[in-house]
Structure 1
Amino acid sequence: MFQIEKQAEAIVFQRAGQRLRVVFAAAGIARITYTEHRDFADHPSRIVVTASERIAFDLREYTEKWVIESSGLVVHVSKKAGALSFFTPGGRLLFREPERGGKWLTSKKVIKNVFDNSSALQMQSIDGARSSATNYETIVDREAFEAKLEFVFSEGEALFGLGSHEEGYSNLRGRSRELYQQNMKAVVPHLVSTRGYGVLMDCCSLMTFHDDALGSYWWADVVEELDYYVIAGEDFDEVMRGYRKLTGVTPLPPKWAFGYVQSKERYVTAEEMLQVVEEHRRREVPLDCIVLDWKSWPNDAGWGQKSFDPIRFPDAAGFTRKLHELGARLMVSIWPIMTGGCKNQRELIGKGLMLGNQATYDAFRAEARTCYWEQARRGLFSNGVDAWWCDCTEPFEADWSGAVKPEPHLRLAINTQESKLYLDAGEINAYSLLHSQGIYEGQRRTESAKRVLNLTRSSYAGQHRYGTFTWNGDVCATWETLRRCIPEGVNFCATGEAYWTVDAGGFFVDNKPELWFWRGEYPGGCRGLTAMDALEPDPKDSGSTDKGFWELYTRWLQYAAFLPMMRSHGTDVAREIWRFGDAGSIFYDAIAACIRLRYRLIPYLYSMAAAITFDGTAMVRALALEFPKDAQTHNIMDEYMFGRSLMVCPVVCPMYFGPGSQPLAEEPKTRPVYLPEGASWFDFWNGAIYEGGQTIVVGSPIDRIPLFARAGSILPMTEVMQYTDEVRDAPYEIHVYTGADAQFDLYEDAGDGYGYERGEHAFIRMRWHQRQAELVIKKREGSFAGMMEGRNYRIVFFGPEGRYERALRYTGEEVRVQLGEREN
């Protein structure tokens, strides 16, 4: 039987060497710690950065259990086995552990390798340079535990989270997940339920999650103790706020990050990149950022040097200045791996700041992070670079070769064993978190006028606090891959890591039978396949086109338009709009239309980002978490909410062409859409209204992604611009979808810099009152340098009677607009 050992801010229970601690980190957040035959470790957390509050609670004892109750969460502790059950204050069960206890620790020895640093095998892989140490001694470092936490879930409950992976799962009930970092895995150990709770595992080792024939449990490879948090909330947003309370505030990205990002593998010269931006401007296709992928460094200088090649970028500062004059920013890829004896590698080796392979810097050491940042500052940031692409942040993988994809259990073993050669087994998931911390803190020390933006391939719980966006790795150009992206992005954002994106079109387009991961379905690709000139196709490739890929790319880009970052990238084929036909052709025009729509939505996007920063909400939202009472939403794979107002329904099947430009004459240009129960829905394109709780078939020609606005929502839009801050006083078009009360907080600030942290920003709070049929635009709250004192608004009401418009001038004072009221 468990007995109370200690009662203070934390309650400690013990039985025969087993110790169980319950403490409230906040009113709705309980921290659970379990250990055996030792004191609680209480080591600093990589994940949780916020100190627990002093929370009032009641402790009551009953015959078979204790009940610990705060104002936001109730925990039952069985006396017999220490099994925990979690309830809302109203008595509704969230989840429980099995009666036998559900918490297991198994003692194990943790080994580490001691390297003599005398030799390492250098190699070049498809995924960049690698280095593998050959001489080391293995020793026992310490005693730790394997851990297992068992769950009893409720019937009809749906689960989301754990990051993005390649399987394409939506609801994780009945599924398993292997939680280790790899090219197409971005791990976040946070599980979120439709019953209104999240479970955050404070652990950085290899883990697995199971809700299958093996049971319902979470297993961890190496822990000092079992340590996890239960976050309760009345809705999804409240769980998100709890997660951010523990893991830190998400800083606001620069406004331009929500524009279009043009990339490919790879641009080679400054001249080429300037031509691409200039051509976008000539064609009036918006663009805010262009990306310089790998090998920006001097030719033959070794991999990963953080400086510009003086031949291809003879005036790096002048190059970035010209981009800025065109209204574009520059993102540059940097790597944690340096080989070939480049200057950066030699410096880090000389200071003893490399891991055992002498090629990967030791991001777990503060002095190494500082040195790495200084290299990036000297070579790149000082020349005007605006953003970082921290590629290969796993940074160890060993299965990226061969014609046959290894089985999942073999891939787990191959990749985690490679990581454990150089990293502590208890830390192998955290490299990207520490790497991102170094970039963020380094740039914050250096510059306050530019917000940190770091696109990175791996993620971990808490990484959002370092200005990161994560993408889903080097995936293949297939319709099946596109279908899988959608639920994986929903799962990633369900964790509370806010910003996720994709390589629109898939990274690998060609098919190479000798490599299991290079399995695109479109070897024809686009015209200009290998052209060095950004504007004219190489004559030998002028016939190299595949309209099947053009269609796939167009649909993928339409999907990306409704993600936190809209970004095109990949290898094998060029990705500029003019590669997909000429203006007036269906694919070109569809691509241009979706990029322009993205820019019309900038006020909505930027306000959603502010809500993430100031209110801890989410941008990409699972339908099941938004409508938990509607069981029909729990297993939907290809629809999601984009903010509270819009439901996005990407097209994930070809309708026009198959591979090799084979026409698909019989395919209907429609797709089914399920409209969640509990709301009415407006078709964004024609204003038609539908009741929720039904499936409809909607038109989806190539220039249209099915898109619905929820009744009782406000959607601010603007006019198309060539970059996000081109016309600072551009008018706003405020769409009001009637049928229920609505609110929206329109956010404005300088668009970059950290003045917003000092209060240099403004909110314009809009409220639609359905009963009074009145929109109230409240008095502006706050101000900032350069703020527009006035702006033209066009209010567009959508309702059963159709569309009604009203124009006004907003000058910062409260305005009331009655539906049907005549304009003055």
Structure 2
Amino acid sequence: MRFLPPTALLATLGLLAAPRAQAQQYQKNPAGLTLTTDSLTVEIQFYTPEIVRVLKFPKGHEPGKKSLVVLQPPAAGPLKYGEQRGTVQVASASTQVRINRQTGQVSFLAAKGQPLLSEQAGGARFTPKKDLGTATYRVRQRFQLAPGEAVYGLGQHQNGHLNYRGQQVLLKQKSLDIAVPVLHSGKGYAVLWDNYSTTQFADNAAGALFDSEIGDCVDYYLLNGQGTADGVVARYRQLTGQAPLFPRWTLGFWQSKERYRSQNETVGVVEKYRALGVPLDGIVQDWQYWGEDNDFWNDMAFNNPGFPDPQGMVDKVHALHAHQMISIWPSFGRKTKAYQELASKDMLFDFITWPRTPHVKVYDAFDPAARDIYWKYLNQGIFRLGMDAWWMDATEPDQLAPFDTDDDNETALGSFRRVRNAYPLVATGGVYQHQRQVSEAKRVFILTRSAFAGQQRNATMVWSSDVDSRWDVLAKQIPAALSLSLAGLPHWNSDIGGFFPNGEYPKGAKDPAFQELFTRWQQFAAFTPMMRAHGEATPREIYQFGERGSWAFDAQAKFIDLRYRLLPYLYSNMWAVTSRAGTVLRALPMDFPQDPKVTDMGSEYMFGPAFLVRPVTEAQYVNRPDKNVPVPASFAQTKGVDVYLPAGAKWVDFWTGQPQAGGQTVQRETPIDLMPLYVRAGSVLPLGPHQQYTGEKDGAPLEIRVYPGADGEFTLYEDENDNYNYEKGAYATIRMRWNDRARQLTLENRAGTFPGMQASRTFRVILVDAQHGTGVGADDAPAKEVAYTGKQVAVKL
């Protein structure tokens, strides 16, 4: 079958028109068309030229669905229509959609007719069922993927997979698993399956299947990234909402544990870090600050006698130039005021959740009035104190009763069965929206362990839940994080060292085996969007591991300090996430789609545009066959790991400045204080000063490191760091361009301004050169000092 390109369709409509009776089977509309077969209605709606919605439902059963995920309305722009040999086509300038008039089967093609994705013939199925007495369906749609096509995303599933071809994944929110029904293809498109019930994804010889427990329709979006992974993510964010900018201080180091039992202990941790000279920006107050009686569970008030002056605690933390986050839950004990008000309005679910008592119940976050009540108590009891951030735990929510009876709970939007996967979206959205209404001076920051499509718009940072303290678990964090990122959610982190030691380390932080695991995990965490130590039983503060001069302390301090030096690079990349739908945690296929060796590589990743990161995920210096036999760490022989340097770029060892060709595997030595890091040639890398907290030395010179071997550029972003004035244009950028042949770095004219901006500043420009030892280098590395006043200046190196 041959189709004319979209530019020729209108001119030929008269020649291709079907008989009148056949033409009545579909109707054109400004956003697409509606086609009806003998048993099925198919609606095609263009939201942009690259975003197409497909809605299918049994004939005569129009669902009238309102999406919880999608924000953008249809806005197709010019469309062209045509038909030929029983197939109808509607096309934008970049995306063609073809529908079989007899079966309703849909296929997608790029502008020039290159196939993107096709449904299987007869791939849509509707199985009638009852849900709380209401007639509905189990809905299924099967697609045909191309041979060798890699698919990614689907949320966070800690199974070690990056490419989900030939795999099955249960999309059902629970601790450790995050269900995000976005399937991201290596061909540069994605499918957003807009359904909120438990869904089985499976790919096999029969095709790729989405099979949802409840749905009134098949409802999905084709996101045409026009051949690039970044294009896919941009279309997803355009459709479901952009990610707001976090406060700059959230990029510093966070300390936490389960749990600090008094305000003196909480403040004392910050004081200890300051006394040691180890950088710190965030301290976390975990649960039971409300008291240990579960009848007062999550009271959103400091009833615990260990916290007699919560306002004084927050003020002391702020006086130490740190910030505080606090744990909050979606459930309430029966003696809390929130429980009593929610119960009086029938806004509580009837299932057992943590802490395993029938007197603690989860609230119905699908009800906007219930979200108002939740914020009322949160604001009165905690936010008014000046609390800086929220740790929204158990936003699945974590259920302990049989799932079939839990699903029979009625929500404001129908059964819990129908909407369960979207609970974290609406729960975090309630807090985000209410805080925005109360204050524009403090940016919202929410740490949460569950997520759904669209949740990036709620200022959420996802963490990988209460993972075990094991090497194999550490290794699986990498593809889990990358999968979530490929599904469009940019912000992820994990508990450094794992949450549950499970008795494996009887000496805790003094155990060499745990010290090695924790140190390697922390190195990985330094190259994730949030660097946060947390865990149960074993304390995680740096001073628990020994004194300065001991290997564990020094290796950890080195990477905390490196994290702070990277703040200009990190904050600028976070701005790219917000302003350009960017991605910080980048699976290698995003940047090197032509290199087949990285198609399913989940052991390495790019961190922003510059860094190739290869975490060490196996024990190298402590080998303990029996957990009860203490074995000292042996550094007699330096170990190493294999690192693959992707083809299509040249690379520079961050630590030594040594250049390396791409497309090869190298053996990199890994002493305990070093994780393999390579910088893409052509990178322009801004480094900040050594400091104890974010903003301590904002007036200090910035170091600009140039990695030769290719042309490149970087845009430095700056603003007021913790308010929403940037949304009104209060920020500044400096574009830095490197011409490799001319050996010239050009600092372009500053664009924009904001209150408190430094009118002039000093840059120390360094050309990285292995011969002169300017890899990561010392502070006295050879540099050219540049006095920058906002006007373009060129620097020859």
State TM-score, norm by structure 2.
Answer: 0.91
Counterpart position of 2:65: 43
Counterpart position of 1:198: 190
Counterpart position of 1:127: none
Q: Is the 8 A contact 2:45 2:76 kept in 1?
A: no
Q: 2:320 aligns with which of 313, 318, 326?
A: 326
Counterpart position of 1:293: 286
Counterpart position of 2:640: 670
Deviations 1:727-782 (A, max 9, x none): 12122111222222212111101110111111111111112223433222111111
Residue correspondence of structure 1 range 580-729 to structure 2 within 5 A: 580-659=545-624, 660=627, 661-663=630-632, 669-729=639-699
Q: 2:387 aligns with which of 372, 385, 408?
A: 385
Q: Which moved further from structure 2: 14-23 or 497-506?
A: 14-23
- DSSP 3-state at the match of 1:473: coil
Q: How many residue pairs align between the two structures? A: 748
- Taking only aligned residues, the RMSD between alpha carbons, in angstroms, comes to 1.9
Counterpart position of 1:73: 95
Deviations 1:631-664 (A, max 9, x none): 1001112101111111110000001113444357
Residue correspondence of structure 1 range 257-336 to structure 2 within 5 A: 257-300=250-293, 302-309=296-303, 311-336=305-330
- DSSP 3-state at the match of 2:395: coil
Deviations 1:437-484 (A, max 9, x none): 110111111111111111011100111111111111111000000011
The answer on 1:418 being equivalent to 2:401 is no
Counterpart position of 1:347: 341
- DSSP 3-state at the match of 1:441: helix
Q: In the aligned structure 1, how far is the partner of 2:346 from the partner of 2:440?
A: 31
- DSSP 3-state at the match of 1:290: strand
Residue correspondence of structure 1 range 377-526 to structure 2 within 5 A: 377-398=379-400, 414-415=402-403, 417-421=405-409, 423=411, 424=415, 425-511=417-503, 521-526=504-509
Give how far 1:235 is off.
1.4
Q: In the aligned structure 2, how far is the partner of 1:176 from the partner of 1:349?
A: 39
Give how far 1:586 is off.
0.9
Paired AA for residue 783 in structure 2: E
Give how far 1:340 is off.
4.0
Paired AA for residue 28 in structure 2: Q
The answer on 1:6 being equivalent to 2:24 is no
Give how far 1:251 is off.
0.7
Paired AA for residue 814 in structure 1: Q
Q: Which moved further from structure 2: 713-722 or 466-475?
A: 713-722
Q: Is the 8 A contact 2:37 2:102 kept in 1?
A: no
- DSSP 3-state at the match of 2:713: strand
Give how far 1:706 is off.
0.6
Paired AA for residue 639 in structure 1: E
- DSSP 3-state at the match of 1:19: strand
Q: In the aligned structure 1, how far is the partner of 2:652 from the partner of 2:767?
A: 11
Give how far 1:185 is off.
1.1
Deviations 1:132-158 (A, max 9, x none): xxxxxxxx1x21221112122122221
Give how far 1:41 is off.
2.3
Counterpart position of 1:370: 372
Deviations 1:68-98 (A, max 9, x none): 2212212222334332222221332222222
Q: In the aligned structure 1, how far is the partner of 2:23 from the partner of 2:663?
A: 48
Residue correspondence of structure 1 range 565-584 to structure 2 within 5 A: 565-584=530-549
Paired AA for residue 524 in structure 1: K
Q: In the aligned structure 2, how far is the partner of 1:552 from the partner of 1:239?
A: 36
Q: Is the 8 A contact 1:621 1:642 kept in 2?
A: yes
Q: Is the 8 A contact 1:398 1:418 kept in 2?
A: no
Q: In the aligned structure 1, how far is the partner of 2:770 from the partner of 2:25?
A: 62
The answer on 1:359 being equivalent to 2:361 is yes
Aligned pair in 2 of structure 1 residues 523, 379: CA closer, same or farther (>3 Å)? same
Q: In the aligned structure 2, how far is the partner of 1:340 from the partner of 1:266?
A: 23
Deviations 1:320-364 (A, max 9, x none): 111111111110000111114223222322343323457211111
Q: 1:732 aligns with which of 679, 702, 707?
A: 702
- DSSP 3-state at the match of 2:362: coil
Q: In the aligned structure 2, how far is the partner of 1:453 from the partner of 1:30?
A: 32
Q: In the aligned structure 1, how far is the partner of 2:506 from the partner of 2:78?
A: 64
Counterpart position of 2:726: 756
Give how far 1:39 is off.
4.5
Q: In the aligned structure 2, how far is the partner of 1:41 from the partner of 1:422?
A: 19
Q: Is the 8 A contact 2:512 2:633 kept in 1?
A: no
Counterpart position of 1:406: none
Q: In the aligned structure 2, how far is the partner of 1:757 from the partner of 1:56?
A: 31
Counterpart position of 1:514: none
Q: In the aligned structure 2, how far is the partner of 1:353 from the partner of 1:84?
A: 41
Q: In the aligned structure 2, how far is the partner of 1:62 from the partner of 1:329?
A: 64
Q: In the aligned structure 2, how far is the partner of 1:467 from the partner of 1:478?
A: 30
Q: Is the 8 A contact 1:474 1:506 kept in 2?
A: yes
Aligned pair in 2 of structure 1 residues 2, 729: CA closer, same or farther (>3 Å)? farther
Q: 1:252 aligns with which of 237, 240, 245?
A: 245
Residue correspondence of structure 1 range 122-271 to structure 2 within 5 A: 140=133, 142-212=134-204, 215-233=207-225, 234-271=227-264
Q: In the aligned structure 1, how far is the partner of 2:284 from the partner of 2:633?
A: 35
Q: Is the 8 A contact 2:701 2:761 kept in 1?
A: yes
Q: Is the 8 A contact 2:144 2:207 kept in 1?
A: no
Counterpart position of 1:338: 332
Give how far 1:310 is off.
5.7
Q: Which moved further from structure 2: 59-68 or 597-606?
A: 59-68
State TM-score, norm by structure 1.
Answer: 0.88
- DSSP 3-state at the match of 1:97: strand
> What runs of 5+ residues in structure 1 fail to find an aligned partner?
112-139, 400-413, 512-520, 527-544, 820-824
Q: In the aligned structure 1, how far is the partner of 2:209 from the partner of 2:588?
A: 25
Q: Is the 8 A contact 2:51 2:222 kept in 1?
A: yes
Q: In the aligned structure 1, how far is the partner of 2:646 from the partner of 2:221?
A: 31
Q: In the aligned structure 1, how far is the partner of 2:408 from the partner of 2:50?
A: 36
- DSSP 3-state at the match of 2:346: coil
Paired AA for residue 273 in structure 2: H
Q: In the aligned structure 1, how far is the partner of 2:506 from the partner of 2:97?
A: 57
Deviations 1:582-634 (A, max 9, x none): 11111110000111111111111111111111111111011012211111001
Q: 2:78 aligns with which of 53, 56, 74?
A: 56
- DSSP 3-state at the match of 1:257: helix
- DSSP 3-state at the match of 2:481: helix
The answer on 1:86 being equivalent to 2:108 is yes
Q: Is the 8 A contact 2:241 2:454 kept in 1?
A: yes
Q: In the aligned structure 1, how far is the partner of 2:129 from the partner of 2:378?
A: 40
- DSSP 3-state at the match of 2:675: coil
Aligned pair in 2 of structure 1 residues 215, 87: CA closer, same or farther (>3 Å)? closer
Q: Is the 8 A contact 1:681 1:708 kept in 2?
A: yes
> What runs of 5+ residues in structure 2 fail to find an aligned partner?
1-21, 352-359, 775-781
Q: Is the 8 A contact 2:155 2:483 kept in 1?
A: yes
Q: Is the 8 A contact 1:510 1:525 kept in 2?
A: no
Q: In the aligned structure 2, how far is the partner of 1:432 from the partner of 1:554?
A: 31
Give how far 1:563 is off.
0.6
Aligned pair in 2 of structure 1 residues 420, 696: CA closer, same or farther (>3 Å)? farther
